[in-house]
């Protein structure tokens, strides 16, 4: 029997996004606070913001760089076909680009591409001497 044709061997070595989803499912739930990461030149790939021309037509400025570091709150979590979709709203209560109160994102893909960041929940304690 060829070792490479063995199903257990290939499944163990094959990278799977399902493993990432299982690890993060315990992390994300309604009320979880996340941070928006940096956007590339074309904007965010896995966070569903309106296109730049639509934002401009509505009278807002389409500057995705201003969103970097913004805290967002998860308002809805849904899972379809192994992908976790989250609905996000700004923690400060303002709308995205003045008109959109919520946005959706593919949670696992946005985490892998560092478009969303989960804040560190560990607290560092300093001891004064």
Per-residue pLDDT tens digits of the chain, which is 129 residues long: 444 444 444 444 444 444 444 444 446 889 999 999 998 888 899 999 999 999 999 999 988 888 999 999 999 999 888 889 999 999 999 999 999 999 999 999 999 999 999 887 655 444 555
H or E stretch covering 7: helix 7-13
pLDDT of res. 40: 84
- Residue 68 belongs to what domain range? 29-117
CA angle 60, 118, 62 (to 5 degrees): 10
Per the domain annotation, does 54 fall within a domain?
yes
Number of domains making up the chain:
1
As a whole number of angstroms, the distance between CA 69 and CA 49 comes to 16
pLDDT of res. 37: 92
Per the domain annotation, does 112 fall within a domain?
yes
As a whole number of angstroms, the distance between CA 106 and CA 85 comes to 5
Per the domain annotation, does 81 fall within a domain?
yes
Contact 25, 118 (CB under 8 A): no
Per the domain annotation, does 64 fall within a domain?
yes
Per DSSP, the three-state class of 6 is: coil
Per the domain annotation, does 128 fall within a domain?
no
pLDDT of res. 62: 87
pTM of the entire predicted model: 0.68
pLDDT of res. 20: 45
Per the domain annotation, does 74 fall within a domain?
yes
Strand partners, 90: 72
pLDDT of res. 2: 47
**Among candidates 90, 48, 58, which has minimal Cα distance to 72?**
90
pLDDT of res. 3: 44
pLDDT of res. 47: 93
Q: Please compute, for residue 92, the number of CA atoms within 13 A of its CA located in the half-sphere on the CB side.
A: 9
pLDDT of res. 121: 60
Per the domain annotation, does 63 fall within a domain?
yes
């Amino acid at each position: 029997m060829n070792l490479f044709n063995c199903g257990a061997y290939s499944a163990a070595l094959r990278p799977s996004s399902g493993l990432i989803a299982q690890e993060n499912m315990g992390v994300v739930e309604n009320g979880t606070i996340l941070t928006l990461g940096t956007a590339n030149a074309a904007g965010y790939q896995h966070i569903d913001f309106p296109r730049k021309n639509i934002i401009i037509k509505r009278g807002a400025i389409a500057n995705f760089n201003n969103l970097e570091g913004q805290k967002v709150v998860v308002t809805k979590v849904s899972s379809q076909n192994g992908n976790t979709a989250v609905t996000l709203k700004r923690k400060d209560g303002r709308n995205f680009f003045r008109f959109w109160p919520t946005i959706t994102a593919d949670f696992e893909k946005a985490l892998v591409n560092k478009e969303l960041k989960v804040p560190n929940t560990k607290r560092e304690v300093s001891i004064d001497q």
